[in-house]
Structure 1
Amino acid sequence: MTIMNMFRVALAAAALTFSSASVALAQAPTTAAAATPAASGPLKIGYTSVEYVLSQMPESRQIETDLKAYSTQLENQLKSKYAEYQTKLDAYQKGASTMTDVVKADKEKELTTMQQSIQEFQRTADQNLQQKQQTLLKPALDKLQKTIDAVSVENGYTYVLNSDGASPVLLHGPKEGDISDLILKKMGVTPGAAPAPVAPKATTPVVPASSTTPATKTKTKTKK
């Protein structure tokens, strides 16, 4: 998966979070209306695409840049670990015929431990990358929420729903109810600007199945 695709997944996840919050709001009007004086004015509902607004914000480009840099750092660490493993594997395979059983067992154990370390690093790297995404997105999401609040107050919207997500809260609405551009203008962003460019595909080396274990298997002797 490319970094940009991962970033889009993160945006979609953020949009879904907004959708979940919007569901709670959408279920509240009846109760809220009963507790609100009639003089407060008619109910006015707007909607926005959180994913679209986030992709238009200048922060999205910086987030993608930072995310790619972090991904490259992890990738380089993984390559270094794999290179060290491959070097020791090659040395083992070349010298296995002249090794004693004890030495051979030690080398095999070392290679197995290195292999497990690489696999664990790959799993941890994926988790760290996801956590990095969330950390980088949080300030942008906080800014977006504050802007939505401000635009809603300024334009008299009682509720604002999110039209994103696998199960969007909004199924239909008039164009004039879409406040996405108002939100962007409030943040000083020109609506319709080109989204963040697609980053080059970041690939991480995967230990080939054929080289993850020594070529020769021997019975090991217990050290005394």
Structure 2
Amino acid sequence: MKVQFTLGLFLAALLFSAPLSAQVKEARFGHIDTQSLLESMPERNSIQTEIEGAAAQYEQEIVRMQGDLEAKVAEYQQKAESWPAAIRAQKEQEITQDQQGLEQFYGTVQQELAMLEQNLLEPMIQRARKAIEEVGAEEGFTYIFDTSAGATVYNGGEDVLVLVKAKLGL
């Protein structure tokens, strides 16, 4: 009797778990080097050209400011001994202010270039992300890992770069 009861429980558990196991989907993993994908997108070149153009304009201004500063320093070094203390102090203050202004401008330029790059790249990144999500859904991937950061410990699964490029028409 005990054997029949145990067998009955086993069969009942088997019957109830069968539908659950049929619903369990096998995990499918993919990986993609998003950096490689972004570099292969045609708009990347025009974005890079625009950023380089803006950087060149800033560089011209920085070179001009450095030239002005160097001229003031050279004048100070030549004439400092012949100037009265008040003029010497005034020139030192001008040089210090120009140095600080140049450093501040350089920092602002770095921020503006980073912001420009982010604003220009965002639509391209969103387009790539959408294509990756669509390929993941269409091909039944559970996860698609980005290998461009180098943080992936296990490099198994399928490379979906070709599928995403095809989705983007590249």
Using structure 2 for the length normalisation, give the TM-score: 0.76
1:166 corresponds in structure 2 to: 150
Deviation at 1:166, TM superposition (A): 3.2
Instruction: Kindly indicate whether residue 124 of structure 2 is the aligned counterpart of residue 179 of structure 1.
Output: no
Matches within 5 A, 1:110-189: 110-168=94-152, 171-174=154-157, 177-189=158-170
Cα RMSD (Å): 2.4
1:129 and 1:95 mapped to 2: Cα distance?
39
Encode CA deviations 1:101-139: one digit per residue, 9 max, x unaligned. 211211111111111211222233333333333222211
Which runs of 5 or more residues in structure 2 are unaligned?
1-19
Q: Contact 2:37–2:161 at 8 Å: present in 1 too?
A: yes
Encode CA deviations 1:127-175: one digit per residue, 9 max, x unaligned. 333333322221111111111111122222232122221312x62225x
1:37 and 1:135 mapped to 2: Cα distance?
47
Instruction: Kindly indicate whether residue 62 of structure 2 is the aligned counterpart of residue 78 of structure 1.
Output: yes
Matches within 5 A, 1:30-45: 38-39=22-23, 41-45=25-29
Q: Contact 2:51–2:117 at 8 Å: present in 1 too?
A: yes
CA spacing shift, 1:140–1:119, aligned 2, 3 Å: same
Q: Contact 1:163–1:171 at 8 Å: present in 2 too?
A: no
1:60 corresponds in structure 2 to: 44
- % identical aligned pairs: 27
1:215 corresponds in structure 2 to: none
2:80 corresponds in structure 1 to: 96
SS of structure 2 residue aligned to 1:52: helix
**Which one-letter code corresponds to 2:84 in the other structure?**
T
Matches within 5 A, 1:6-25: none
Which runs of 5 or more residues in structure 1 are unaligned?
1-35, 190-224
SS of structure 1 residue aligned to 2:149: coil
Deviation at 1:40, TM superposition (A): 7.6
CA spacing shift, 1:37–1:106, aligned 2, 3 Å: farther
1:44 and 1:52 mapped to 2: Cα distance?
22
Q: Contact 2:29–2:156 at 8 Å: present in 1 too?
A: no
Encode CA deviations 1:16-74: one digit per residue, 9 max, x unaligned. xxxxxxxxxxxxxxxxxxxx995485432222111111111112212221221122122
SS of structure 2 residue aligned to 1:138: helix
CA spacing shift, 1:81–1:161, aligned 2, 3 Å: same
Using structure 1 for the length normalisation, give the TM-score: 0.59
Bigger radius of gyration among the two: 2
